[in-house]
A and B are shown apart, each in its own frame.
Chain A
Amino acid sequence: MSAFWGGVRASLPVVLGYLGIGLAAGVVERAAGLSYAEILLLSTVLYAGSAQFVLTSLLALGAPASAIVPTVFLVNLRHLLLSAALAPALRGVPAWKNALLGVQLTDETFVVASAHKTLRPAWMAGLNLSAWTAWAAANVSGAALSGLGGDTRVLGFALPAMFAALLVLQLRTHRRVRTALAVAAVSAAAGVGAQLALAGPWAVVAATVLGASLGLLLQACTSGPNS
């Protein structure tokens, strides 16, 4: 079996997960007034679950692009950590190949890929392309489902439910769980406060910068000079 098809096979758990989450994303995107073509564009070009939910949520709130783009940037900054962690396994691969592989990096494909000490570009390409195709197909199918009727307000709750679940997963895997919990609590309160005070699109950005900086501060206070 070629390396490419090995990657496709390794992607199966990711594909299954994407079919479910992608359906929910498509429903929410359609409910927010996006056309099928726009949903296809969003899921193939942006190709980032949480960022698509964020973009959809902010669009529905009437936020301008000047606020949506920085928020999406913040949400996806975490990929810096993921690509840093994969870099050693892809050492010696030409930079342009790494760039192509990196563009399709997601939390889920990272989890699959990081189980390997060295990664072959063809294997990564198989993993990436399979997950990407499943994601786009699920988004468009979700959009079609929401056209069948039903209560889009209820299905729209997929959005906060997804945020909550992603938050739990991020908290569980953080090295400093207690500090991370404090960051979450402060950011949640700051986000609500800022949203009510500013009624504006910058609430999330403000809360994030405050929360993450507080985390760094707490970390500096609680760890000794040697740790």
Chain B
Amino acid sequence: MHVRPEFLALVLACALVTALPRVLQLVVLSRFALPQRLLDWLSYVPIAVLAALTAIEVLVPGGQALLLRDNAAIPAVAAAFAVASATRSLLLAVVCGVGAFWLLS
């Protein structure tokens, strides 16, 4: 039951940069509007982050080399995509993705 000091520092730093965008608009910017271009750019950020992360996790497991053949993660992530598209349920997509990965690997 202990917390490494460097982990505590990491979590606090991450919490700070997470709180800023959550709070800024509610506290300060209810009077000023952000520029439309910035809002448009921001609307693509989560899509870009998630696409990059998903692709790296699936295609470069371990972070070193590309794995295209005999990679159970590819059909399994396709299953997660399909279930999420059909049901809009995060939970169901995660369960089906993990299930598919388990069956295939």
Contact = CB atoms under 8 A, between A and B. Distances in A.
Interface of A: 17, 20-21, 24, 34-38, 41-42, 45-48, 50-51, 54-55, 57, 61-62, 65, 68-84, 86-88, 90-91, 95, 98-99, 101-105, 151, 153-155, 157-172, 174-175, 179-180, 183-185, 187-192, 195-196, 199, 203-204, 207-213, 215-216, 219
Given A69-B10, A77-B46, A102-B27, 19 more contacts: A20-B94, A76-B17, A77-B42, A84-B33, A105-B22, A154-B102, A160-B53, A161-B76, A161-B93, A161-B96, A164-B50, A165-B81, A170-B47, A172-B88, A174-B47, A192-B55, A195-B60, A207-B48, A211-B47
A99 B27 CA distance: 6
Interface residues of B, number: 78
Given A35-B2, A77-B45, A211-B44, A83 B26 contact: yes
The 7 closest A-B pairs by CB, nearest first: A191-B52, A161-B97, A211-B48, A215-B44, A165-B93, A188-B55, A207-B52
A160 B97 contact: yes
Interface of B: 1-4, 6-15, 17-27, 29-30, 33-34, 37, 39-60, 62-66, 73, 76-77, 80-81, 83-85, 88-91, 93-98, 101-102, 105
Contacts of B49: 54, 71, 74-75, 187, 204, 208
B41 A216 contact: yes
A199 B94 contact: no
A127 to B, nearest CB: 14
Contact of A203 (B56, B66, B88, B93): B56
A184 B48 contact: yes
A101 B26 contact: yes
A157 B51 CA distance: 16
A26 B49 CA distance: 22
B interface SS class: helix
Contact of B94 (A21, A35, A62): A21
23 contacts: A21-B94, A37-B2, A37-B3, A50-B46, A50-B50, A51-B14, A73-B20, A76-B22, A78-B21, A80-B34, A84-B25, A158-B94, A160-B97, A162-B93, A163-B54, A167-B54, A167-B81, A170-B47, A172-B85, A195-B63, A208-B49, A211-B47, A213-B41
A187 B10 contact: no
Given A180-B44, A188-B54, A165 B90 contact: yes
